[in-house]
Amino acid sequence: MKPAVSRALQGAALSALCLVAPFASAKPTIQITPPTGARFLSGQRFDLRVEGKGTGPFSATLKIDGLAVPFSSGVQNSLETDGVTTAGFGGFNRRGYINIEPGVHKITATFKDATGTSTATSQFEIVDVGGAGQVKNVIIMLGDGMGLSHRTAARLVRYGSTAGQPNGYLAMDKFPGTGLVTTASLNSVITDSAPGMAGYVSGTHTQNGQEGVYPANMTNPFYYPRVEYLAEFMARQRGASLGIVSTADVEDATPAANAVHTGNRGAGQGIVDQYLDESARTGLRVLMGGGRRWFLPSSEFGSSRGSGNDYASLPADVQAAWGVGPGAIDGARNLIGDFQAAGFTYVETATELSGAGAPNKLLGLFGYGNMNVAIDKIAHRRDAGSDAGQIVEDYHAPDQPMLDEMTNTAIKVLQKNKNGFVLMVEGAHIDKQAHFMDADRSIGEVIEFDEAVAVAQKFAQTKGDTLVLVLSDHECSGFSVIGALTGGIANLENLPSDAGVTDPATQPGRQKVVGVYDSAGFPQYTIEPDGFPQTFDIDNKILIGFGGSGDRFEGWLGKPHPVIDSLLPNSIKAELAGAGYVAQPYQREESAFGFFLRGQAVGRDQAVHTGSDIPVSAYSKNEAWRDFVGVQTNTDIFFKISQAVFGPGLF
Ligand SMILES: [Zn+2]
């Protein structure tokens, strides 16, 4: 059966089929980029590539709708082809291609080696935009890893409920339009944050671990075929600005997947360099989060700069087509100084942020790696007189802003550009703490994130031209509200250790205190004026199960210390380890009294992302929010945003 074209084109999984060895094994393989299923806006820039594996010398041809398209790099009948392709492969590129004809287009390519010629075809669709858009500013509130149950848990903790009715709703709950979003990447139903985010702002499914590029066999991940991001497109078409705000290290996948093109989400130094080096093209005016380690010269404390994970000599056709410089491997670079020289005001504490006003451009780096989680920042604010023993002190970042404060300042800066802006605000630790199965910290993150959502909505309420979307890149951990504690906290604290209970015939004591169904009742937390619970350890606290669990001890009590996460400089990781912080959930101090749960996932250390759909909530003063109701894919979101901004098209 032949499915309808538009459906077929949405099937990104088909892309793998483009890798074809048609007949005898003698012929070379051939792969076309973009793969079948790709969709682009009319006028959106992307790279084309024909790649094959075989016995050189290599040659290739490329046609679109039957017309020959010249390559911008790749020497015909040569071994080295474009000079940046992995040995054994040949690669031919057409960088910075633009097509403005709405509809389906057919790519035909040949790849020839010493043994013969292979032919392949691929299809992409151009989606029309044009006419009258309703939206000038786009704010994407990205709760990383935030599934339905994270939202439910935060609502229950923050507001409680009475006789079945919530006593209040989260700001995102009150948005008029809510729908569901599928989260698959180019190569899996389970995505990581890089393609998860990139899908929303490029319309393209990218491969896990990659952002703003298609996969390729090339010598440096920064050379991979690029796809233009929403902010880049809006900057080029409209002169719009870009703001990126995160509680993570700004090098992390979600922030980077708005402005950086790389096949390696872990390429820290190259990623942060690209933020600045391509900022004229992306419109970047606000960059806030953690990650100071990448901005400090390699000689300074806490620096993670060096000679690895960087790029130099971007291919000439990339430079020409995308309007960028060659790059450099520069461990000694003072990137903060370079940002300042480019007109950015720099701040590194909450105090400095609140005094910054609304500069034209703003760089804020509030931690060496990831920022601290909300409840650890709040603990310090509640006890500001005593720094000793504070987690934020241990992280060398005692004075960190909350996400709503960062969001508020970001909007002040961005709204100075009358041509509009894209702002992405990430609540990063919803995901990271769910990975560590630290339920209380993850819920605290949703509460912090929702305060930032309220700030974004308040701005949009004063503007008829601003769209606010609450999204998540994927669900993390199979987070579920499974019940509430029975018997009280004092009882729980006094239970003997279950750590040795592994016989299936013996029920661990801590399993017996999980009140399910009727016993769960309606937990009621005491909320402080700062918006967070006085404590998560109330007598009938809600309890969370993890469907994508890693190995852990579960004691149900709040965890005194966070697990050391990977995005910190090694020097600080070593200090934390020395101070008794653990590197994996199963090593937690709760092992003294919790019961051991073996995770289902292949890695024992962390809970994993799941393939669950995530909720989207949309707000705008005008009718733009209506497009986001229903079930849609992550890349559909991009086209809906774009059509809200540029008009639904005349085709
Ligand atoms: Zn994650």
CATH number for the domain harbouring residue 40:
2.60.40.10
Structure letter (DSSP) for residue 233: H
108 within domain boundaries:
yes
Predicted pLDDT of residue 81: 98
- State whether 245 and 204 are in the same domain: yes
370-395: average pLDDT: 88
Query: Quick one: tokens of 53?
Result: 């594996």
- State whether 438 and 575 are in the same domain: no
The 10 Å Cβ neighbour count of residue 386 is 9
What distance in angstroms lies between residue 239's CA and the mean position of ligand 1's atoms? 33
617 within domain boundaries:
no
pLDDT band (50, 70, 90) for residue 603: confident
Q: Select the more confidently predicted residue: 593 or 352.
A: 352
What distance in angstroms lies between residue 8's CA and the mean position of ligand 1's atoms? 29
Predicted pLDDT of residue 594: 85
604 within domain boundaries:
no
What distance in angstroms lies between residue 191's CA and the mean position of ligand 1's atoms? 9
Predicted pLDDT of residue 25: 58
Tens digit of each residue's pLDDT (9 = 90 or more) over 505-525: 999 989 999 999 999 999 999
- State whether 417 and 278 are in the same domain: yes
- State whether 438 and 568 are in the same domain: no
619 within domain boundaries:
no
What distance in angstroms lies between residue 158's CA and the mean position of ligand 1's atoms? 24
Domain boundary among 443, 461, 478: 478
Query: Quick one: tokens of 262?
Result: 């790389």
243-247: average pLDDT: 98
268 within domain boundaries:
yes
Domain boundary among 478, 508, 543: 478
Domain boundary among 597, 627, 642: 597
What distance in angstroms lies between residue 144's CA and the mean position of ligand 1's atoms? 7
What distance in angstroms lies between residue 609's CA and the mean position of ligand 1's atoms? 6
Tens digit of each residue's pLDDT (9 = 90 or more) over 130-180: 888 999 999 999 999 999 999 999 999 999 999 999 999 999 999 999 999
164 within domain boundaries:
no
629 within domain boundaries:
no
| Residues 220-240 as b or e (16 or more Cβ within 10 Å = b) | bbbbbbbbbbbbbbbbbebeb
Predicted pLDDT of residue 29: 97
Predicted pLDDT of residue 241: 98
246-271: average pLDDT: 97
What distance in angstroms lies between residue 138's CA and the mean position of ligand 1's atoms? 24
What distance in angstroms lies between residue 254's CA and the mean position of ligand 1's atoms? 10
Residue 616, beta-bridge partner list:
179
pLDDT band (50, 70, 90) for residue 35: very high
What distance in angstroms lies between residue 265's CA and the mean position of ligand 1's atoms? 13
pLDDT band (50, 70, 90) for residue 651: low
Number of domains in the chain: 3
- State whether 93 and 216 are in the same domain: no
pLDDT band (50, 70, 90) for residue 501: confident
Yes or no: say if 562 and 544 are a contact pair by the CB < 8 Å rule.
no
Tens digit of each residue's pLDDT (9 = 90 or more) over 554-571: 899 999 999 998 899 999
pLDDT, mean over the chain: 93
What distance in angstroms lies between residue 193's CA and the mean position of ligand 1's atoms? 6
**Which amino acid is it at 124?**
F
* Domain boundaries, position 333: 137-146+173-478
> What is 302-337 written as a DSSP string?
T---SSSS------HHHHHHHT-------TT--HHH
- State whether 119 and 225 are in the same domain: no
What distance in angstroms lies between residue 441's CA and the mean position of ligand 1's atoms? 15
What distance in angstroms lies between residue 190's CA and the mean position of ligand 1's atoms? 11
Predicted pLDDT of residue 592: 73
pLDDT band (50, 70, 90) for residue 16: very low
- State whether 499 and 445 are in the same domain: no
- State whether 337 and 467 are in the same domain: yes
537-564: average pLDDT: 94
- State whether 424 and 469 are in the same domain: yes
424 within domain boundaries:
yes
Tens digit of each residue's pLDDT (9 = 90 or more) over 174-197: 999 999 999 999 999 999 999 999
- State whether 192 and 84 are in the same domain: no
What distance in angstroms lies between residue 366's CA and the mean position of ligand 1's atoms? 21
- State whether 432 and 575 are in the same domain: no
CATH number for the domain harbouring residue 346:
3.40.720.10
Query: Quick one: tokens of 620?
Result: 């705008």
- State whether 297 and 195 are in the same domain: yes
Predicted pLDDT of residue 17: 41
